[in-house]
Structure 1
Amino acid sequence: MTEMVYGTAAVTAGEPILPKWWRTLDKWTLSCVLILFGIGILLGLAASPPLAERNGHDAFHYVTRQAVFGGAALVAMVVTSMMSPLLVRRLAVLAFIGAFIALLGLPFLGTDFGKGAVRWYSLGFASVQPSEFLKPAFVIVAAWLMAAAQDLNGPPGRLWSFLLTVMIVLILVMQPDFGQAALILFGWGVMYFVAGAPLLLLAVLAGLVVLGGSVAYNNSEHFARRIDGFLNPEIDPTTQIGYATNAIRGGGFFGVGVGEGQVKWSLPDAHTDFIIAVAAEEYGLLLVMFIIALYCGIVVRSLYRLTRERDPFTRLAGTGLACMFGVQAMINMGVAVRLLPAKGMTLPFVSYGGSSLIAGGIAVGMLLAFTRTRPQGEIGDILRGRARR
């Protein structure tokens, strides 16, 4: 009866790990991720050669690197998706500690690569952005604390998770990296809401966010410049937003044709932050809508499978990962069409970027691990367990 209601599958004793993984995996989500990665390589072939030429590399230098980083990301995703929620939690706690320490060390050992924000460690052959790896690990740690707070005589996990969130947000704002700070705050807010937070408290927190934004606007030239540019009704055609807007408008429904786009020659970040503009110009609205459908499919499908999950930690962590993944994609595309202020944020699995690709692979691997079909226990056993409490 339980399997009919909750769609769980019986586990065969001694079943090999690979067949068991494949049978319990959400194959729709996996397929969407693989298609997004393929689209990222396709768009990289169009967007990155001009940058490679300007930097003195061969035409497909960045595409090759994206394929290598993407391959590592897919391996990390598959390996992580094979783990149990308990193992994911344990490793995520260690990863969070390491990423948090790395984040604290950025002001002393980090670099800004001329972009005005110290967010990276330069390794010579590559760079590492600690905040990308901090995001999925933070979601797991915050979900663990919130789930522990639901236990009888449990710790004040919600308060601890809030204090941890505030600490991380303040560190990110000091870089400054308002986009990643907003993602961290959003992910925590979603999990807090699912954990049963009162709406009044969430409204108060939203008010504090608005207040914090006002303070940042008055005290950060970097933040104020981007907000002013967003609110200005006139778009400077020589800015990245101007180039991207014109490219999207010129692409129309079917695009100007493969390789015929011009925006990639003008945008320095055509292969990263504004890759959706390249897609819109060369392939048109059809490809953009398909990409949006893929992201929506991953988020909706994951949330649907999580509704059948009874473990509070798994439900909270999976919800946070899915929503953060979807909102990052929304922010990237929203900036390109000028629905949101300019923010350097990659499009998951499509944009070029080693840290973004590998961290995204780990995050989706965690999500796949949480949404795998697993026995949920008999309803009578659960009711008897509650009665004993």
Structure 2
Amino acid sequence: MLIVLVWLLLFGLVMVYSASLVVAVMIYDYQIDFFYAKQLRSIIVASLVFIVACFIPYSFYRKLNKLAILSSIVILIYVLVKGTTANNASQWISVFGMTVQPSELVKLSVIIYLATIFSKKQKYIGNFSRGVAPPVIIVAVILGLIIVQPDFGTSMVIAFTSFILILCSGMKLRHLAILSLIGMVLLGIFFNFVATNEQKSRINGAYQPFEDPSDDGYQLINSYLAFATGGVTGQGFGESIQKFGYLPEPHTDFIIAVIGEEFGLIGVFMVLSLLFFIVIRGLLIGIRCQDTFGSLLAIGISSLIGTQTFINIGVAIGLLPITGVTLPFISYGGSSLLSLMLAMGILMNLSAHNKMEMKQKKKHDNVVPLHKHISHSQ
């Protein structure tokens, strides 16, 4: 898993350089390595966080449960009041001269919170009002604070990840059905009465891109062109045409389209296979963990990576509206990378804990009781 993670980081760094060349030249006065240099610094910082997290026992995060979720709510309120606005959304704050997107770290806080709460409520998880409703309300508050920024992409990631954790918590299926129904009703209300014109235009752009190819469908159509041009084997590294001002955000939201154009279907399949490998390994770690908190934590982290990958790819191929969700470990973005690397450090510690438990169990099973030795000698 570590080897795959390092490969994804390095490949992502190379692709950020390739995909952002033209954007950097146009915006930052011919600094062709502007985004590359920032991504490299982010990888170094995130890697240090990852190494530290690998050596912190995962049970430590259980103690941070209340602090993490309360801090998340406070920081999201602060973002709404004092956040930096860009692309019609207040999603960023300035910390020590650096721009940070707090909602990226909130994703992990929600996973830690739900894993802690549901591990404590196992005795009465079948009781909806006592075992399920309180944490669901907290998550709903967080989702509401993120949606009004507005940041529908991050809210989708948190909602789907939370749903998977709730599904794995052991709650009754009828309660799960009720939550699903409530979620669909709220989603319908949002799109019909709350969503801005820009958000509605993104839906039209995703499902009817050729009706307005110069506006709503512009990004998706150029994404299609990138995949079509790349074919099976691609045009070669650095040979993308769509990144020359045709495909907006080629180094973030649509980096997979640039990968498809330069490395073809083979390159896309390789990247998705490695991300899929990390998700499956994470789920196996969760299944093998004997501790309920550790099991839900691993499943939550794996679900986060899988959900974020699905949404990013779904946007690039027109399956989902444009949301601004990055491709894990590949897309440009320091806040996203920091959050994901912290999550991977926790997952690595869980894996090491599982292996240690298996070794101790195996050692214990190999010990022959003293009475059997005496019986054998007699």
Fold in common (TM above 0.5)? yes
1:104 and 1:187 mapped to 2: Cα distance?
Answer: 22
Distance 1:305 1:235, change over 3 A: farther
Distance 1:124 1:89, change over 3 A: closer
Greater CA drift, 102-111 or 84-93: 84-93
Greater CA drift, 276-285 or 87-96: 87-96
Q: Which residue of 2 aligns with 1:7?
A: none
1:124 and 1:265 mapped to 2: Cα distance?
Answer: 33
Distance 1:250 1:236, change over 3 A: farther
Q: Which residue of 2 aligns with 1:334?
A: 314
Greater CA drift, 150-159 or 189-198: 150-159
Q: Deviations over 1:185-243 (max 9, x none)?
A: 21221111111122222222222222112111112123322222223162644411111
Identity of aligned residues (%): 31
Q: Which runs of 5+ in 1 are unaligned?
A: 1-28, 382-389
SS of alignment partner, residue 112 of structure 1: strand
1:246 and 1:191 mapped to 2: Cα distance?
Answer: 37
Q: Which residue of 1 aligns with 2:80?
A: 107
2:17 and 2:203 mapped to 1: Cα distance?
Answer: 32
2:199 and 2:213 mapped to 1: Cα distance?
Answer: 21
1:43-58 pair list within 5 angstroms: 43-57=15-29, 58=31
Q: Which residue of 1 aligns with 2:273?
A: 293
Distance 1:92 1:284, change over 3 A: farther
Q: Which residue of 2 aligns with 1:255?
A: 234
1:304 to 272, 278, 284: 284
1:207 and 1:229 mapped to 2: Cα distance?
Answer: 27
1:152 and 1:205 mapped to 2: Cα distance?
Answer: 17
1:122 and 1:371 mapped to 2: Cα distance?
Answer: 35
Q: Which residue of 1 aligns with 2:148?
A: 174
For residue 285 of structure 1, report the CA deviation from its aligned partner: 0.9
Q: Which residue of 1 aligns with 2:375?
A: none
Q: Deviations over 1:63-119 (max 9, x none)?
A: 011011011111111211211122133346534433331111112110222x11111
> Structure 1 length as normaliser, TM-score?
0.85
Greater CA drift, 184-193 or 121-130: 121-130
1:1-389 pair list within 5 angstroms: 29-57=1-29, 58-91=31-64, 93-113=66-86, 115-123=87-95, 125-151=97-123, 156-219=130-193, 220-221=195-196, 222-232=198-208, 234=210, 236-238=212-214, 239-266=218-245, 267-372=247-352, 373-375=355-357
Q: Deviations over 1:7-44 (max 9, x none)?
A: xxxxxxxxxxxxxxxxxxxxxx2111111101111101
SS of alignment partner, residue 328 of structure 2: coil
Which is greater in Rg?
A: 2
Checking the alignment, whether the CA contact within 8 Å between 2:68 and 2:113 is kept in structure 1 is no
For residue 160 of structure 1, report the CA deviation from its aligned partner: 2.2
Greater CA drift, 358-367 or 202-211: 202-211
Checking the alignment, whether the CA contact within 8 Å between 1:145 and 1:158 is kept in structure 2 is no
Checking the alignment, whether the CA contact within 8 Å between 2:161 and 2:307 is kept in structure 1 is no
Distance 1:247 1:102, change over 3 A: same
Q: Runs (4+) of structure 1 moved beyond 6 Å?
A: 152-155
- Where relative contact order (Cα < 8 A, 6+ residues apart) is larger, the structure is 1
1:366 and 1:235 mapped to 2: Cα distance?
Answer: 46
CA-atom RMSD in angstroms: 2.3
2:284 and 2:136 mapped to 1: Cα distance?
Answer: 27
Checking the alignment, whether the CA contact within 8 Å between 1:243 and 1:263 is kept in structure 2 is yes
Q: Which runs of 5+ in 2 are unaligned?
A: 365-378
The amino acid that maps onto 2:165 is: M
* Count of matched residue positions in the alignment of Structure 1 and Structure 2: 351
The amino acid that maps onto 1:240 is: Q
1:317 and 1:367 mapped to 2: Cα distance?
Answer: 8
SS of alignment partner, residue 122 of structure 1: strand
> Structure 2 length as normaliser, TM-score?
0.87
SS of alignment partner, residue 270 of structure 1: coil
1:249 and 1:208 mapped to 2: Cα distance?
Answer: 39
SS of alignment partner, residue 121 of structure 1: strand
Distance 1:235 1:339, change over 3 A: farther
Distance 1:96 1:74, change over 3 A: farther
